[in-house]
Amino acid sequence: MYHISPSLLCADQMELRQTVVEVEKLGVDWLHIDVMDGNFVPNFAFGTDCIRAIRKEAKSPLYAHMMCTRPMEFIKPFAELGVDYYCFHYEATVNPFRVCQEIEKNGMKAAIALNPSTPVELLEDLLPGLSCVTLMSIEPGFSGQKFLTHTYKKIRKLRKMAGDSPVRIEIDGGADIPISMKCIENGADVIVGGYFNLFDSAYSLSDKYRAYSQALKNGGIE
């Protein structure tokens, strides 16, 4: 079973409320919210006021992808905002176990993200405490980049490591329909919906979402 998680960073920021309302009507499984501090990545995105406003409109779970240098500092504030999944970068801390424990202590589900050059083997001992692993298939910080094909190998390795674990594997970046299908075939569960598959100004978001979902089903992906 696959899931599509719309990335609000790729939406027209002047129409963010309308986008949230529209994706809610589509019945998405959760919303992907990129949080950038300008240090871990050279960009800024989605502060607490914006997330608070999104939470008021969205009934779907919120998946906060924390591209920040100090993930521990934001756990409690984001829990208070109503975030459901707190995804921090492995590269941003020397104490990933402690971060996971603090996330769970504050009532959120722990998730972790890996940059393209970070090997999945580093997560072996962490997997039992994770709800999801986000594999970056582009360099973090900016949308619209080309998919990095070595991601397929990382998906296969991680799926084998996870075994029967319920941990989900999310792919973030550059995944058009053919790439999305290949990612799912290799063991991914979640594809982040961005410029390459959902947010195309030539079509409505609803039309793109339905076409994307149908294309995956027609390709034998259930």
**pLDDT surpasses 60 at 221:** no
Task: Using pLDDT thresholds of 50, 70 and 90, give the confidence band for residue 222.
Answer: low
Taking each helix axis from N to C end, the angle separating 16-26 and 48-57, rounded to the nearest 10 degrees, works out to 40
Q: Which residues constitute the domain of residue 115? A: 3-218
- Annotated catalytic residues are 34, 172
d(CA 214, CA 217): 5
CATH number of the domain within which 60 lies: 3.20.20.70
Residue 194 neighbours by CB under 8 Å, 6+ apart:
7, 9, 10, 143, 144, 173, 174, 175
Q: How many domains does the chain have?
A: 1
d(CA 173, CA 76): 28
Q: Residue 12 CB: number of other CB atoms within 10 A?
A: 11
- Which residues are bridge partners to 87 per DSSP? 65, 111
| pLDDT value, residue 220 | 52
Q: Residue 4 CB: number of other CB atoms within 10 A?
A: 21
Q: Torsion angle, CA of 81/108/159/26, rounded to 10 degrees?
A: -50
| pLDDT value, residue 20 | 96
More confident residue, 213 or 53: 53
> In the structure encoding, which two tokens stand for residue 129, read together?
């405490």
| pLDDT value, residue 219 | 63
CB 114 within 8 A of CB 139: no
Q: How much of the chain, in percent, has pLDDT values that exceed 90?
A: 79
The pLDDT tens digits of the residues spanning 83-101 come to 999 999 999 999 999 999 9
- Give the lowest-confidence range in 23-37, 137-151, 175-189, 191-205: 191-205
